[in-house]
Amino acid sequence: MLSFSVPLGKLVRTLSRLRGGGSAFPGLVVEKIDPGFMQRTLASLPLGVAVVSGTNGKTTTTKMVVELLESQGLKVFTNRSGSNFTRGVAASLLGDVDWRGRLDADIAILELDEAHAVHFVNKVEPRFSLLLNVLRDQLDRFGEIDKTARLLEHIASKTTDTVVLNREDPRVARIAAALNTLDAVHHPEIRYFGLDESLRSTFPNDDEMRTTGIGPSPSGTSVAAETGDDVDLPAADVVLRRVGAQDADFEFDDETVTTSMKLRGVYNIFNAAAALSLARAILGTGPVDTPKLVKALGEVAPAFGRGESLTVDGQPLELVLVKNPSGFRLGLKSFPAGGYATMIAINDNYADGRDMSWLWDVEFDSLREDGVEVLTGVRAYDMALRLQYDDVPFGVVEPDITAALRTFIDGSRGKPKRIFCTYTSMLAIRRELAKITIVEVVS
Amino acid sequence: MTSETQPHPEAQSHPEAQPSKGTLRVLQLYPREMNIYGDWGNALVLKQRIKWHGYTPELLEYNVGDEFPDDVDIIVGGGGQDSGQLVIQDDLQARAAQLKQLADEGAPMLVICGLYQLFGKFFKTSTGPIIPGIGILDVETHGTDERLIGNVTMKSAEFGDILGYENHSGQTTLGPGVEPLGTVTKGAGNNSKDGHEGARYNNVVASYLHGSLLPKNPAIADFLIRTAAERKFGTFVPGTPDDGYARLAREHAARRPR
Ligand SMILES: [Zn+2]
């Protein structure tokens, strides 16, 4: 069937690009005139669709899966623009199909926001899904984390081939039980990615945020930590065994492989185990070039703004995106304060979440010794109050990000710098950095 | 923003050198299940301010199945997931008489969100089942499909302006046995109709506000501490906590959209 919708949609896309318009508008047009476009195009892919969802780390993990599959020679379609909506996917597809509507790819790897994933999987059943975690994030939008877990469960129940689950996150691991109640025909295969026991204490979950009197606790948190050992845990397809300064050990197929890692932060590297497990599921029984796969894993760089390192005045400047208590605590743990000048930028715009309660679920003790140079963002004073109660010393409090950034850079010349920032403050900081200095992205 | 005077962080008084004016024991109710949206902040603020007032804080926890400590001076409890409320329900009923007696005798307590609801008479969920409360507060709560979310400011004769953040779908109505904590000037509060927020009975303060509540509302924290000290020692001799950042955080929070 020759359809006019694709040429028309591509034309709209080109025109709206020329006008500098939004990326989703052409998607809207094609959706209106050809509602079956997205399903039809995705259904034509030989390996189908894989979705990546969860609260934290979707963007970097999606990028990793794409790069792992490309290392094996697959052609991959992905929603690179960061659009999480059905319409955004349709718009990205328009960019990649030829004028006849054919997509030259083997598989689509799609990053899906929990809120929109259900709508999407009801339209397009994924062949594979990877469910990363359920953490407290922007609860003012989703209401409750149990509800988020139910959204992920719905994605899993619509998956036709393999569901990859985080063994260490109780709310994600529990999805397996729900899948087992499905009839045999609709029961997807379940795989897990997991952590070595020695690393579990670095992965808090929100139910056990704290223990006696000492504030938010970083320990004793996963399913495994409750049971104390591996015995009660399902076997994992990929296990992250060790994280070093520049490398990591992954165990799969009964062997432990050491690889250098460009990614920083133990939570990013745990997501590398997740990506590896999904890639293995997709590659299935076909030929796998394991050395190439491991090499690709080591070379994955973080996605935009998530633990990336820039160079400012010849010194590294790290931007660490923090958007929920678990992410902030993992960020503090993964990037130790010693030797760094530190700034914290907290905004409360819609994309950051308006509720500031989450700052009180993070323990800032690790910053006590070195202190924090500058606090900024709309809620800089909330952050100051938070640090005051944790006895962490700080210098300048300046809500205006432009002024604060200048003060920070001027005041810490010759020193490596680190900025913990919420989403919209990160965008503002990048904009300002581009004005102040030549920003060179080094990883 | 530069005209605002900023207190120096080092200005905080550290009274460790002086002898303690006495120990105040703060009990957290069910911190394992009921700790959502920064409830730890309230316990931390009590702990630090007790210290800044020159007393010695002792932080205790009570979780399901624990032995209930018999000499506590302040009780604080938070909110939780629906699943968390189910877990603590039976245990809370078993402690109802003790908690009620403490409240009747004037023990200072702060209950937020989920435990505010369970300190009332009942919670009727939107799907039908009724979760019984422990009836310390003359309030009842009805689950709805409407979630009340956003920044809240309110006026209270007792505490001045109170600021926080609400996130609840249960709507609470007050009976004659309690007073509202304040009159809402931004946000919803107890329910979408009555224009008031929280409840007061004896020295029990109940509220839907997270934020956390106590850091930006030190007047409420100090009320709890003063009441506890007076009950225990006959008098309260306050220290001089530095509330400069609390004041600035309040000013900025008050200007934020709903
Ligand atoms: Zn609440």
- Residue-wise pLDDT for B65-115, tens only, equals 999 998 999 999 998 777 778 889 999 999 999 999 999 999 999 999 999
Asked whether the CA dihedral A99, A101, A102, A106 is positive or negative, the reply is positive
B41 to chain A nearest CA, in Å? 5
Across the interface, whether the CB atoms of B147 and A143 are under 8 A apart is answered: yes
Q: Which tokens belong to B169? A: 């779908």
Using the Cβ of B216 and the Cβ atoms of chain A, whether some distance falls under 8 Å is answered with yes
Question: Which are the contacts of A195, defined by CB distance < 8 A and separation ≥ 6?
Answer: A167, A168, A203, A222, A224, A239, A240, A270, A273
Rg (CA), chain A: 22
**Looking at the partner chain, which of B31, B165, B257 has a beta carbon nearest the beta carbon of A356?**
B165
Chain A CA closest to residue B258: A354
pLDDT of residue A36: 81
Whether residue A381 and residue B149 make contact (CB cut-off 8 A), yes or no, is no
pLDDT at site B2? 39
Beta strand spans in A285-336 (E): 308-312, 315-321
Q: Residue B155's pLDDT is what?
A: 98
Is B210 one of the catalytic residues? yes
Cβ-contact A331, B11 below 8 angstroms: no
Mean pLDDT, residues B19-48: 93
CB of B73 closer than 8 Å to CB of B228: yes
What is the value of pTM for the model shown? 0.71
Phi–psi pair at A318, nearest 5 degrees: -100, 130
User: Any chain B CB within 8 A of the CB of A144?
Assistant: yes
d(CA A322, CA A328) in angstroms, rounded, equals 5
A385 chain-B contacts, CB cut-off 8 A: 215-216, 245-246, 249
Pull the structure tokens for residue A326. 């678990």
Contact criterion met (CB < 8 Å) for B40 and A397: no
Q: Nearest CA of chain B to the CA of A185: how many Å?
A: 31
Q: Verify whether residue B113 is a known catalytic residue.
A: yes
Token pair for B131: 């979760």
Mean confidence (pLDDT) of chain A: 81
The pLDDT value recorded for residue A305 is: 52
Q: Do B38 and A361 touch (CB under 8 A)?
A: yes
pLDDT the model gives residue A7: 66
Give the closest-approach CA distance of A396 to chain B in angstroms: 9
Q: Is A130 helix (H, G, I), strand (E, B) or coil?
A: strand
Kindly name the residue from B168, B196, B210, B252 that is annotated as catalytic: B210
Q: How many CA atoms lie within 13 A of A326 on its CB side?
A: 26
Residue among B35, B82, B165 minimizing CB distance to A209? B35
For testing contact with chain A, the best of B58, B168, B212 (most A CBs within 10 A): B212
The residue with greater pLDDT, B258 or B202, is B202
Element (H, E) at A190: strand A189-195
Share of chain A above pLDDT 90, in %: 44
* Cα four-point dihedral sign A355, A357, A359, A361: negative
- Chain B residue with the nearest C-alpha to that of A382: B249
The DSSP 8-state label assigned to residue A210 in this structure reads B
Q: What confidence score (pLDDT) does residue A184 get?
A: 61
Residue A282 main-chain phi, psi, to 5 deg: -70, -40
> Is the Cβ pair A357, B211 closer than 8 Å?
yes
Residue in B closest to A354 by C-alpha: B150
B78 close to B42: Cβ distance less than 8 angstroms: yes
pLDDT attached to residue A186: 66
Judging contacts by C-beta atoms under 8 Å, the chain B residues touching residue A213 are: 47, 59-61
> In this structure, which residues have their CB less than 5 angstroms from ion ligand 1?
B 79, 113, 167-168
Task: Report whether A324 contacts A142 (CB < 8 A).
Answer: no
Taking each continuous run of H as one helix and of E as one strand, the counts in chain A are 18, 16
Handedness of CA B138, B143, B144, B146 (dihedral sign): positive
B58 neighbors B23 (Cβ within 8 angstroms): yes
Residues whose CB falls within 8 Å of the CB of residue B67, separated by 6 or more in sequence, listed in order: none
* A131 C-alpha to ligand 1 centroid (Å): 27
**What pLDDT does residue B116 have?**
96
User: What separation in Å is there between the alpha carbon of A251 and the centre of ligand 1?
Assistant: 42
**Nearest residue of B to residue A147, measured between CA atoms:** B81
- Distance from the alpha carbon of residue A143 to the mean position of ligand 1, in angstroms: 10
Q: Which helix (H) or strand (E) holds A286?
A: none
Residues A387/A364, Cβ–Cβ less than 8 Å: yes
Nearest CA in chain B to A140: B149
Please report, for residues A12, B33, B125, the alpha-carbon distance to residue B30 in angstroms, rounded to integers and kept in the order given.
57, 6, 21
- Closest among A133, A96, A37 to A325, alpha carbons compared: A133
Greatest alpha-carbon pair distance for chain B in Å reads 57
Q: What is the pLDDT of residue A144?
A: 67
- Torsional class of B66: left (φ above 0), alpha (ψ -120 to 50), beta (otherwise): beta
β-bridge partners, A109: A50, A78
Residue type, B223: F
Cα→Cα distances A295→A259, A276, B122, B133, Å: 7, 12, 59, 58
The answer to whether the CB of B26 falls within 8 A of the CB of B50 is yes
**Using a CB-CB distance cutoff of 8 angstroms, which residues of chain A are in contact with residue B60?**
213
CA B33 to chain centroid, in Å, comes to 16
Average pLDDT of the segment spanning B213-230: 98
- What is the model's pLDDT at position A85? 62
Percent of chain B with pLDDT over 70: 93
pLDDT at A28: 66
Query: Of these residues, B113, B142, B196, B252, which one is catalytic?
Result: B113
Interchain CB contact of A355 with B (< 8 Å): yes
Q: Is the pLDDT of residue B164 over 80?
A: yes
CA distance B153 to B243: 19
Structure tokens belonging to residue A89: 């996917």
Is the CB of residue A226 less than 8 Å away from at least one CB of chain B? no
Residues of chain A with pLDDT under 50: 1-2, 19-22, 81-84, 138-141, 208-231, 440-443
pLDDT at B238 over 50: yes
Q: Which residues of A touch B27 (CB under 8 A)?
A: none
User: How close is the nearest chain B Cα to the Cα of A360, in Å?
Assistant: 5
- Element (H or E) spanning B113, and its range? none
Q: What are the structure tokens assigned to A28, written together?
A: 């809207």
The first and second tokens of residue B109, run together, are 């307590």
